[in-house]
Amino acid sequence: MKQNSQPPLRLLLDSLCQGNRKSISRIITILESDKNDHKALTIELLAALRQKQPRQAIRLGVTGTPGVGKSTFIESLGMHLVSRDLKVAVLAVDPTSHTSGGSILGDKTRMHNLSREASAYIRSSPTGKQHGGITNRTAEAAFICEQAGFDVIIIETTGTGQTDFNVADTVDIFVLLIAPEGGDELQGIKRGIMEVADLILVNKADGPLESSAKKTAAEYEAALRLLQKRIQDPPNFPKINLISAQLEVGIGQAWKDIQNLVQWRKANGIWDLVRNEQEILRFRKELHNQFVQLMSQDKNLAKLQLESEERIRKGLEEPLMAAQQIMQSLNRKSIGHDLDN
Amino acid sequence: MKQNSQPPLRLLLDSLCQGNRKSISRIITILESDKNDHKALTIELLAALRQKQPRQAIRLGVTGTPGVGKSTFIESLGMHLVSRDLKVAVLAVDPTSHTSGGSILGDKTRMHNLSREASAYIRSSPTGKQHGGITNRTAEAAFICEQAGFDVIIIETTGTGQTDFNVADTVDIFVLLIAPEGGDELQGIKRGIMEVADLILVNKADGPLESSAKKTAAEYEAALRLLQKRIQDPPNFPKINLISAQLEVGIGQAWKDIQNLVQWRKANGIWDLVRNEQEILRFRKELHNQFVQLMSQDKNLAKLQLESEERIRKGLEEPLMAAQQIMQSLNRKSIGHDLDN
């Protein structure tokens, strides 16, 4: 393994486990890198940390459509936690836009107060390419923050469908923020997200919007009752509460609900069950990832793929048949190349 | 190849190309099946149709959040096309909900008038499992409808993020329906979808909502100007128009815009370029698909995977490292099993 300009692995890990911010950022940068030596280093880092009796924090997903007040809520909750001597990391999953590659977030002045706290750490990460087969490393970044001593890892996502479900597969508790508004949108994207939410918070429940927020909460209560009970839900969950992130109303209650949920799940064996299933999912996604790498790095397979694509572009070959033929040749013969060259 | 109770392939294909509805439905059912012999039959069917100088229709994607009036618009446009002696197929991509497997659509009485037309064909299809590696066969179903003689294939999707982008990769023209509403939601999911839309229609531009619709259209015009020009756009596209699907206002204009766009793209070589890239994408997705099949059907690999998952569940192994090891063993040795057993 090439070390390049990286410090020796052991020093980097020791420094991480002491909570050194530069080490956290450096390691997350390595995780997110596409370079081959960084990919190898990532696996080595994660495997080494696993030897050390890894710590667990609470991983909290926060989602909601743009404008619902996610940043304000996260800042408000984060300040509440910091005031209780808890260390908070915020990982914002930033979906790069589909065609231009541009970024939706990027406003570094969001969460102004929280970003100035010594016991808070905030970082934005890209979700990676849609079709390039490159998975994001949000789960791994959360694991790194756990080893650096943070107590709560908040993972923020921007309500764009698939990204939300990916984040739901990465966190212990998933919070859905909704705005006070009419009820006939209780379908589609919200329906799907509702089914993975543990806590639904109707934000902006203050001033003129308060009665509208109450009505919205009642509508969502009714909708929740239609959903099948999940094994991971204690009696009163998924729960719906009113908050005002701006006025810091309901934030303490939300944190109590989160703590109660964590305790119940730990006491009932659900916590470990969910975490273990998430690890299995990481494994399966990584298999996909490595398959894409194999196809591009093995010279024979890359050549076969290129030739097929040329014929497909000319309309000479059915894509499904071409794929079947390549998989058969992968399956039948020894490839004779090493993956990690 | 087992024929089971299927009629001989040649008869089925002849009947399809004569526009026989039972044959269309039977073939789409085969496409969507998970059974191994159906998968083999699918590839054989598609490859045989490709030998026959396949016809092309206009593939039109229609998206928009729930409640925006997609069904009304599709019925209205469909009836307009039927009145012009065009044959219309509607494929509704039905995202089965994330955890319960329940279906959002399913209202068979949608598009009541269109469904009674002899030259219209309507079908709902599931999008398939999210993480199971099973891709949907919407592109293939559209191809089947083209070979059955339909002139316009409308693919309806329900505005749930990733499904939209998958449909955008399957169609020639992508139409985004929006509701007349305030402007600060011009971010997130809509931002990403706007970038793949060719035609944006502000629906419900009638009665009391007309001025609100005009304002919304102006806001989207402004937002569109911020986006980078795409190679597939003629001078006045992507275009924004006001319609009322309910009152059938603006439907004729929308169809003219679609036709103009088709003509411009064909004249400028863009049409073939986009279709060819979509075929390449189908090929790459199918490689993934077949990889998942290989992993589950080859006894050695399935065993290795199972053992890794057991260790991962006990926290004894880093998932990324386990994936790397399996791929290395896939890479190094001959597997010696046949894929299509």
Tens digits of per-residue pLDDT, B222-251?
Answer: 777 777 778 899 998 999 999 999 999 999
The closest CB to that of A192, out of B160, B165, B330, belongs to: B160
- The dihedrals phi and psi of B120, each to the nearest 5 degrees, come to -120, 150
Residues A109, A204: Cα–Cα separation, whole Å: 21
Q: Does A184 touch chain B (CB under 8 A)?
A: yes
Q: Is B172 exposed, middle or buried (0-12, 13-18, 19+ CB in 10 A)?
A: buried
Contact B162 A159 (CB under 8 A): no
Mutate which: A320, A324, A325, vs B, most B CBs within 10 A: A320
Mutate which: B157, B169, B324, vs A, most A CBs within 10 A: B324
Residues A297, A339: Cα–Cα separation, whole Å: 7
Contact B196 A320 (CB under 8 A): no
Residues A58, B17: Cα–Cα separation, whole Å: 58
Tokens of B248: 């059938």
The distance of A83 to chain B (nearest Cα, Å) reads 32
Q: Does B50 touch chain A (CB under 8 A)?
A: yes
Q: Does A225 touch chain B (CB under 8 A)?
A: no
The closest CB to that of B286, out of A66, A319, A330, belongs to: A319
Quick one: average pLDDT of B251-269?
A: 97
The pLDDT score that the predictor gives to residue A186 is: 43
Long-range contacts of A259-267 (CB under 8 A, 24+ apart): A260/A234, A261/A173, A261/A198, A261/A199, A261/A234, A261/A237, A262/A58, A262/A172, A262/A173, A264/A234, A265/A172, A265/A232, A265/A234
Q: Does A53 touch chain B (CB under 8 A)?
A: no
Residues B159, A157: Cα–Cα separation, whole Å: 18
Residues A185, B103: Cα–Cα separation, whole Å: 16
Q: Does A138 touch chain B (CB under 8 A)?
A: no
ipTM computed for the complex: 0.81
The distance of B84 to chain A (nearest Cα, Å) reads 31
- The dihedrals phi and psi of A179, each to the nearest 5 degrees, come to -95, 155
The closest CB to that of A318, out of B43, B321, B330, belongs to: B43
A134, A137, A160, A292, B320 from A289: Cα distances, Å: 6, 12, 22, 5, 10
- Residues 6+ away with beta carbon under 8 Å from B272: none
Residue B151 has pLDDT above 60, yes or no: yes
The pLDDT score that the predictor gives to residue B194 is: 78
> What confidence category does residue B34 fall into, taking pLDDT thresholds of 50, 70 and 90?
confident
What's at A136, amino acid-wise? N
Q: Does A140 touch chain B (CB under 8 A)?
A: yes
Lowest mean pLDDT among A188-192, A259-263, A282-286, B68-72: A188-192
For chain A, give the mean pLDDT: 83
> Across A261-265, B108-112, B213-217, B324-328, which has the greatest mean pLDDT?
A261-265
The pLDDT score that the predictor gives to residue A143 is: 96
CA dihedral B36, B41, B43, B47 (to 10 degrees): 170
Contact B312 A280 (CB under 8 A): yes
Quick one: average pLDDT of B12-30?
A: 94
The distance of B320 to chain A (nearest Cα, Å) reads 6
> What confidence category does residue A5 fall into, taking pLDDT thresholds of 50, 70 and 90?
low
Q: Does A47 touch chain B (CB under 8 A)?
A: yes
The closest CB to that of B192, out of A160, A192, A280, belongs to: A160
Residues 8-27 of A with CB under 8 A from B: none
